[in-house]
């Protein structure tokens, strides 16, 4: 069995609001050593990762319960989309759901 099929990690932007499964990450252009780094597939920003979607959404749900109603719905909507800031994500989400 292909090990990549079992890779359930979630990657998310260090400087942007992109997040998705690890198989959706982009790669930087190879540097002098010939190696590429994983990056946001839209803006090329560096990424962090979590072990799985359950871990990701546990943090999302905690944030929602700490006084941020609707946060999970916004995060789910933003999956695979790149926004430069949290406020950019929030504006785009609000505009889309108000249609």
pLDDT in tens, 28-41: 999 999 999 999 99
What is the C-alpha to C-alpha distance for residues 52 and 42, in angstroms, rounded to an integer? Answer: 22
pTM for this model (two decimals): 0.88
Number of domains in the chain: 1
Q: What domain range is 42 assigned to? A: 3-97
Token pair, residue 16, equals 């942007």
55 has pLDDT over 80: yes
């Amino acid at each position: 069995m292909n090990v990549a099929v079992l890779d359930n990690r979630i990657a998310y932007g260090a400087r942007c609001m992109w997040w998705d499964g690890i198989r959706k990450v982009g790669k930087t252009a190879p540097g002098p050593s010939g190696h590429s780094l994983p990056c946001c597939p839209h803006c090329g920003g560096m990424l962090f990762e979590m072990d799985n979607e359950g871990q990701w959404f546990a943090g999302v749900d905690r944030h929602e319960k700490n006084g941020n109603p609707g946060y999970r719905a916004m995060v789910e909507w933003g999956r695979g989309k790149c926004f430069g800031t949290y406020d950019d994500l929030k504006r785009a989400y609000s505009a889309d759901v108000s249609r």
